[in-house]
């Protein structure tokens, strides 16, 4: 066989081996490239947790029944500890806070609240700690104020009067986000001659979260 033919044959063999080798290499790195591509697609930017929306139950009923419906709606159950800070309370639980302590916490924008398993007074406000760790303040509102606090209809700021208990002028139970409340005064008793009667707390319901979020 002439020398030129031998060289040509060797060149073809070398080329085939190179192509085969590259093919094998490509197969071996393909899963890695595919995996890298999939990982790139699943990357997401950090999402800032928004304050929870307002909860409203417009069904008529007794105060006890409406509270039960709101607890079911928010997925919360009774605290096991007699007294505990909101930041230490388990998610999916509810407790109570005396009006005076609630007022002080909201006026001073305290990042934490002390909750009781059993209310120390009949005018205590109810607090729900949701599954995501955020908090809702439960109270009663007049019918005319319900449309104002609904998210789809609410302007940036709304001034509301939230009652601790159900009254004729405040029959609707609502739950408003603690993170969106701004308070500049203490709760006021409805009847001054009834020391253990319902109280009313005026507050601004903000369009965005402004208060400090309790540590979780």
| Model confidence pLDDT, tens digit, residues 150-199 | 766 666 788 999 999 999 999 999 999 999 999 999 999 987 777 778 99
Distance between CA 152 and CA 107 in Å, rounded?
A: 27
Q: What pTM value is reported for the model? A: 0.72
Q: Specify the residue for token string 């002439």.
A: 2
Taking a C-beta distance cutoff of 8 angstroms, is the pair 116, 152 a contact?
A: no
**pLDDT, tens digit, for every residue of 33-84?**
344 443 433 333 333 345 568 899 999 999 999 999 999 999 999 999 999 9
Q: What is the pLDDT of residue 181?
A: 92
For the record, the structure tokens of 107 come out as 């006026």
Question: CA 9, CA 54: separation in Å to the nearest integer?
Answer: 81
């Amino acid at each position: 066989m002439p020398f030129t033919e031998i060289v040509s044959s060797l060149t073809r063999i070398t080329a085939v081996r190179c192509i085969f080798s590259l093919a094998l290499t490509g197969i071996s790195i393909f899963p890695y490239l595919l995996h890298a591509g999939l990982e790139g697609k699943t990357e997401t930017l950090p999402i800032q947790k928004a304050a929870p929306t307002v909860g409203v139950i417009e069904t008529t009923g007794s105060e006890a029944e409406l509270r039960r419906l709101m607890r079911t709606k928010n997925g919360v159950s009774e605290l096991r500890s007699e007294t505990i800070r909101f930041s230490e309370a388990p998610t999916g639980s509810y407790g109570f806070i005396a009006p005076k302590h609630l007022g002080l916490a909201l006026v001073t924008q305290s990042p934490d609240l002390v909750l009781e398993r059993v209310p120390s007074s009949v005018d205590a406000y109810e607090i729900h700690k949701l599954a995501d760790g955020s908090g809702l303040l439960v109270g009663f509102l007049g019918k005319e104020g319900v449309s104002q606090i609904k998210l789809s209809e609410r302007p940036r700021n709304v001034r509301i009067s939230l009652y601790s208990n159900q009254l004729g002028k405040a029959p609707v139970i609502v739950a408003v986000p603690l993170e969106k409340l701004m308070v500049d005064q203490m709760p006021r008793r409805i009847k001054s001659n009834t020391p253990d009667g319902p109280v009313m707390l005026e507050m601004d319901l903000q369009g965005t979260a402004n208060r400090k979020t309790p540590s979780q």
